């Protein structure tokens, strides 16, 4: 093969994918593949794995075969390539013999660059599986081949023969699973022991992390979504029933939501998935069955209604948001009841110990009092030095206080109850509740009964969880989750050791904050350029019957909004715009931008004219500002503009001759500086900005 240079790679990256530069490691990986070396790529979801094999495919003589486990994902990937003007096809059991023949033809005349195939369909491709036709093999979701992984698929087992039949063809294995054992297993199973490994950072900085207590979670969720109109999001729930109930509640609240779980028919599931991908549905309430086949880049948030079983699952699920690199939000609801339920599930499984340890790590994450991202990344063996600044702990660090007395009360209650009662009853005793259990068992006689009346139920729960985490008491899961003392308890009860606890996050406070925000900034979908472009994108996607983000992703729309390109050259400079997309979509998008700008210009003109009319009617600046709901400064700026345009506005009446003189002198010294601040400082911070601006306007006109 000819020598391929960096500039060739960059030029194809721009022409065919619309990007100006590679992300970390992409270029090295691509060069390694082009050198025909076996390659292992470990990159988080959204990291940009696809380009790693799609770009080399454009340089190879034969086709690149892509093994992918999910039929749903294939069509999407092929659509996406086609949208970029790259010839691609897929081959799976859902197609007719005619369609299969078309694929064979494409392979034979080498017109297809990339061919996606499900592992179970490989055997039907036998006659083209040789080096004449195939230049590279990419194995997507490669962890599916390993029994160590969390998603083992027997059909992947047969991939081992690939290296035997095509020894000269480079194999690229790609996955988002970091685990060391799985990595080694992938290499062994695929018979590529010497593959070059690329393991990239798992840090997805654009996803804000947040954990909240689960009290009132439905209300919290509704409020959360209402603050993000038209944004796509996924809510993960533990049970099918919850997904349905939640979707219904959301719909009752005018939220465009649907549920998704394995109990629905194949058709229903496909339809829901389609609707989501095409932006016809905003919110999906799903069990973990949802998402594997989803490659939607504009998912803006993920909520975990229930606690996930382990950090791998959690990380993968939140990773489905913000793939376009724009801000995204992951919100986890933490409830102790969930933890107990998950423990019960686990109790009946074969590898109980491993799963319990994993659940414990998940719990530690949820209860963290240090930067959550540090915990998350350290789980994957990645250490970061700085706190992330984009998790709730970083944004709102917990406050510790001396909680020794609280701890003593709780531990003595547990002691008096002889380690027989679960958290609920312990709290009831502390708070002096008078319910049936308490009275039947005679717990009102206990010495600690009612000693914790002053602390709310929810706060007690928060404190006791912390005591458990610090090892001062424990849950006996085999004894109906009874709370019991530990060896450490004595330190508090008898040896005078101090305990530090954190104050619970005030849900009320969170509520108020969001309410205040939503009052000052009314969250309705505004008529912004972004919204216009989003609507246009939606219309085009409908017409072409493809996912909306395949036209342009959110990041590209944002850039279009900011840069407002009006020529082909400017349009092509936008990240995400390649040659084909410029040709096919450029015109319509530029047209929309032009229309929008003209409308704004017109309304800007209208707004100064309205000020002018009121001014002529004799209203004062403050009155005009009041009438129009604008700031006086804005009115001044309108008048200045009118004044410069030569309209009949006497700015002189707003400034004294003395001050005008001061400004004039300053202007000489400052050599016609245009910024206001230097004048303000030069004049000893005594002349208000408004006066300076008026002075300068008058002087400008006079010149």
Residues that bind ligand ADP (CB under 6 A): 19, 22-23, 26, 43, 45-51, 295, 297, 323-324, 553, 575
Q: Least separation, in Å, of the C-beta of 614 and Zn ion?
A: 51
Residue 433 as a binder of Zn ion (CB under 5 A): the answer is no
Closest distance to ligand ADP from the beta carbon of 279 (Å): 15
Nearer to ligand ADP, 156 or 202 (CB): 202
Location of structure tokens 């939503």: 518
Are 143 and 316 contacting, i.e. CB atoms less than 8 angstroms apart? Answer: no
Contacts by residues 389-397 (CB-CB < 8 Å, ≥ 24 positions apart): 390/205, 390/207, 390/208, 390/209, 391/208, 391/209, 391/210, 392/209, 392/210, 392/211, 392/212, 393/368, 393/369, 396/505
Identify whether the C-beta of residue 140 lies closer than 8 Å to the C-beta of residue 69. yes
Q: How far is the CB of 44 from ligand ADP (least distance, A)?
A: 7
Q: CB-side exposure of 237: number of CA atoms within 13 Å?
A: 22
Piece of the chain touching Zn ion by CB under 5 A; list 80-88, 349-357, 390-398, 693-701: 390-398
Q: What span, in angstroms and rounded, lies between the C-alpha atoms of 138 and 132?
A: 17
Judge whether 290 and 304 are in contact, CB under 8 Å. no
Binding partner of 51, given Zn ion, ligand ADP, none, CB within 5-8 angstroms per partner class: ligand ADP
Q: What residues pair up with 136 in beta bridges, in sequence order?
A: 64
**212 in helix, strand or coil?**
strand
**Of the two residues 209 and 555, which places its CB atom closer to ligand ADP in the complex?**
555
Closer CB to ligand ADP, residue 297 or residue 640? Answer: 297
**Residue 371: CB minimum distance to Zn ion, A:** 3
**Residue pair 41/64 in contact by the 8 Å Cβ criterion:** no
Q: Could you tell me which of 604, 495, 588 has the C-alpha nearest to residue 543?
A: 588
373 binds Zn ion per the rule CB under 5 A:
yes
- For the record, the structure tokens of 411 come out as 């531990």
Per partner kind, with CB cut-offs from 5 to 8 A, the member of ligand ADP, Zn ion, none near residue 50 is ligand ADP
CB of 485 vs ligand ADP, minimal distance in Å: 48
Is residue 394 within the footprint of Zn ion (CB under 5 A)?
yes
Nearer to ligand ADP, 27 or 461 (CB): 27
Q: Which does 19 bind (CB under 5 to 8 A by kind): Zn ion, ligand ADP, none?
A: ligand ADP
- Residue 577 in the binding site for Zn ion (CB under 5 A): no
Chosen from ligand ADP, Zn ion, none, partner binding at 213 (C-beta under 5 to 8 Å by type): none
Q: Which residues contact 576 (CB under 8 A, 6 or more apart)?
A: 18, 19, 552, 553, 555, 556, 559
Separation of alpha carbons 219 and 212, rounded Å:
13
Q: How far apart are CA 71 and CA 78, in angstroms?
A: 11
CB nearer to ligand ADP: pick between 21 and 158: 21
46 Rama sector, left if φ>0, alpha if ψ -120 to 50, beta otherwise: left
Shortest distance, position 233 Cβ to ligand ADP, whole Å:
17
389: left (phi over 0), alpha (psi -120 to 50) or beta: left
User: What is the DSSP code string of 584-639?
Assistant: HHHHHHHHHHHHHHHHHHHHHHHHHHHHHHHHHTT--HHHHHHHHT--HHHHHHHH
How many Å apart are CA 414 and CA 638, to the nearest integer?
72
Q: Choose the stretch contacting Zn ion; rule: CB under 5 A; options: 79-87, 333-341, 371-379, 487-495.
A: 371-379
Contacts of 214 (CB under 8 A, 6+ apart): 333, 334, 335, 337, 338
Residue 371 interacting partner from ligand ADP, Zn ion, none (CB closer than 5 to 8 Å by kind) = Zn ion
Return the number of the residue (38 or 295) whose C-beta is nearest ligand ADP.
Answer: 295
Closer to ligand ADP at the Cβ: 297 or 448?
297
Residue closer to Zn ion by CB (options 284, 391) is 391
Looking at beta carbons only, is 20 or 61 nearer to ligand ADP?
Answer: 20
Q: In this complex, which beta carbon is closest to ligand ADP, that of residue 589 or of residue 615?
A: 589
CB of 23 to Zn ion, least distance (A): 23
Q: x/- site string to Zn ion, residues 242 to 281, per CB under 5 A?
A: ----------------------------------------
In the complex, the smallest distance separating the C-beta of residue 572 from Zn ion, rounded to whole angstroms, is 38
Distance (Å, whole) CA 303 – CA 310: 15
Binding segment toward Zn ion, per CB under 5 A, in 346-354, 382-390, 478-486, 556-564: 382-390
Binding partner of residue 49 among ligand ADP, Zn ion, none, CB under 5 to 8 Å per kind? ligand ADP
57 binds, among ligand ADP, Zn ion, none (CB under 5 to 8 A by kind): none
Q: 88: which strand partners?
A: 114
Using CB under 5 A, pick the residue from 166, 359, 388, 560 that binds Zn ion.
388
In whole angstroms, the minimum distance from the beta carbon of 141 to ligand ADP comes to 9
Rounded CA-CA distance 654/204 in Å is 54
Smallest distance, Å, CB 209 to Zn ion?
7
What is the smallest separation between the CB atom of 399 and Zn ion, expressed in angstroms? 16
Both tokens of 598, joined, read 């003209």
3-state DSSP assignment of residue 213:
strand
Q: Which residue lies nearer to Zn ion by CB, 276 or 314?
A: 314
Nearer to Zn ion by C-beta: 358 or 373?
373
The two three-digit tokens of residue 347, written as one number: 């109790």
Question: Which of 298/608 has CB closer to ligand ADP?
Answer: 298
Q: Which does 22 bind (CB under 5 to 8 A by kind): ligand ADP, Zn ion, none?
A: ligand ADP
Distance CA 393, CA 388 (A): 9
Binding map of Zn ion across residues 330-369, x = CB under 5 A, - = no contact: ----------------------------------------
Min dist. Cβ of residue 509 to Zn ion (A):
20
CA distance 188 to 169: 17
Of the pair 258, 373, the CB lying nearest Zn ion is at 373
Closest CA to 661 of 699, 628, 700: 699
Applying CB under 5 A, among 186, 362, 391, 546 the residue interacting with Zn ion is 391
In the complex, what is the shortest distance from the CB of residue 568 to ligand ADP, in angstroms, rounded to a whole number?
A: 21
**Residue 376 touching Zn ion (CB under 5 A):** no
Provide the token pair at 139: 């194995």
- Nearer CB in complex with ligand ADP: 84/412: 84
The CB-side HSE value for 148 (13 A sphere, CA atoms) comes to: 15
**Part of the chain binding Zn ion (CB under 5 A), chosen from 370-378, 398-406, 589-597, 649-657:** 370-378
Return the SS3 of 657. helix
Out of ligand ADP, Zn ion, none, what residue 323 binds, judged by CB under 5 to 8 A for its kind, is ligand ADP
Report the nearest approach of Zn ion to the CB of residue 387 (Å): 5
Is the Cβ of residue 575 or residue 611 nearer to ligand ADP in the bound state? Answer: 575
Query: Considering only residues 40, 211, 366, 371, which one is a binding residue for Zn ion as defined by CB under 5 A?
Result: 371
The Cα–Cα gap between 405 and 684 comes to 57
Task: Report the C-alpha gap between 702 and 576 in whole angstroms.
Answer: 48
Footprint of Zn ion on this chain (CB under 5 A)? 371, 373, 387-388, 391, 394
């Amino acid at each position: 093969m000819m020598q391929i240079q960096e500039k060739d790679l960059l030029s194809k990256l721009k022409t065919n994918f619309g990007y100006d530069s590679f992300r970390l490691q992409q270029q090295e990986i691509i060069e390694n593949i082009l050198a025909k070396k076996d390659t292992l790529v470990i990159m988080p979801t959204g990291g940009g794995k696809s380009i790693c094999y799609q770009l080399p495919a454009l340089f190879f003589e034969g086709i690149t075969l892509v093994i992918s486990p999910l039929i749903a994902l294939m069509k999407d990937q092929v659509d996406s390539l086609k949208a970029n003007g790259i010839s691609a096809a897929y081959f799976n059991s859902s197609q007719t013999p005619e369609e299969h023949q078309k694929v064979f033809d494409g392979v034979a005349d080498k017109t297809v660059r990339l061919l996606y195939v499900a592992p179970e369909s490989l055997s039907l491709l036998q006659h083209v599986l040789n080096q004449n036709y195939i230049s590279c093999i990419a194995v997507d979701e490669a962890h599916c081949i390993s029994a160590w992984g969390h998603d083992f698929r027997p059909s992947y087992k047969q991939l081992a023969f690939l290296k035997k039949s095509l020894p000269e063809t480079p194999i690229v294995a790609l996955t988002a699973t970091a685990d060391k054992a799985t990595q080694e297993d992938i290499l062994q199973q695929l018979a590529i022991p010497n593959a070059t490994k690329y393991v990239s950072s798992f840090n997805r900085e654009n996803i804000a992390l947040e954990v909240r207590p689960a009290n009132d979670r439905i209300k919290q969720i509704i409020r959360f979504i209402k603050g993000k109109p038209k944004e796509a999001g996924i809510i993960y729930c533990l049970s099918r029933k919850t997904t349905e109930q939640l979707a219904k509640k959301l719909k009752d609240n005018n939220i465009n939501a649907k549920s998704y779980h394995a109990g629905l028919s194949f058709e229903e599931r496909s339809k829901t998935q389609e609707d989501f991908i095409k932006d016809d549905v905003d919110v999906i309430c799903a069990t973990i069955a949802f998402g594997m086949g989803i490659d939607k880049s504009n998912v803006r948030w993920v909520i975990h209604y229930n606690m996930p079983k382990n950090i791998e699952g959690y990380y993968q699920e939140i990773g489905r948001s913000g793939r376009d690199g724009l801000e995204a939000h992951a919100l986890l609801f933490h409830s102790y009841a969930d933890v107990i339920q998950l423990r019960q599930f686990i109790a009946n499984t074969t590898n109980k110990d491993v799963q319990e340890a994993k659940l414990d790590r998940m719990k530690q994450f949820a209860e963290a009092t240090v930067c959550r991202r540090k915990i998350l990344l350290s789980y994957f063996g990645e250490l970061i030095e700085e706190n992330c600044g984009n998790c709730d702990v970083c944004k709102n660090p917990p406050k510790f206080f001396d909680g020794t007395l609280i701890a003593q009360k709780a531990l003595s209650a547990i002691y008096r109850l002889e380690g027989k009662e679960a958290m609920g009853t312990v709290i009831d005793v502390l708070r002096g509740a008078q319910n049936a259990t308490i009275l039947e068992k005679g717990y009102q006689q206990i010495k600690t009964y009612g000693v914790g009346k002053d602390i709310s139920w929810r706060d007690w729960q928060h404190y006791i969880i912390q005591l458990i985490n610090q090892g001062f008491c424990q849950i006996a899961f085999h004894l109906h989750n009874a709370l019991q003392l530990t060896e450490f308890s004595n330190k508090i009860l008898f040896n005078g050791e101090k305990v530090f606890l954190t104050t619970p996050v005030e849900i009320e406070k969170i509520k108020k904050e969001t309410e205040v925000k939503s009052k000052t900034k009314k969250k309705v979908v505004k008529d912004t350029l972004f919204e216009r472009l989003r609507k246009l994108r939606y219309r085009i996607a409908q017409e072409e019957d493809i996912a909306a983000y395949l036209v342009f992703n959110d990041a590209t729309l944002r850039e279009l909004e900011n840069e407002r390109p009006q020529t082909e050259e400017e349009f092509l400079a936008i990240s995400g715009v390649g040659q084909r997309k410029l040709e096919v979509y450029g015109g319509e998008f530029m047209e929309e931008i032009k229309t929008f700008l003209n409308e704004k210009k017109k309304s800007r003109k209208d707004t100064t004219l309205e000020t002018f009319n009121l001014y002529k009617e004799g209203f004062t600046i403050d009155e005009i500002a009041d009438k129009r709901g604008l700031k006086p400064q804005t009115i001044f700026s309108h008048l200045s503009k009118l004044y410069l345009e030569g309209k009949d506005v006497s700015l002189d009446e707003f400034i004294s001759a003395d001050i005008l003189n001061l400004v004039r002198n300053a202007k000489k010294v400052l050599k016609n500086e245009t910024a206001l601040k230097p004048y303000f400082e030069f004049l000893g911070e005594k002349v208000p900005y408004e006066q300076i601006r008026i002075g300068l306007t008058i002087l400008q006109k006079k010149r």
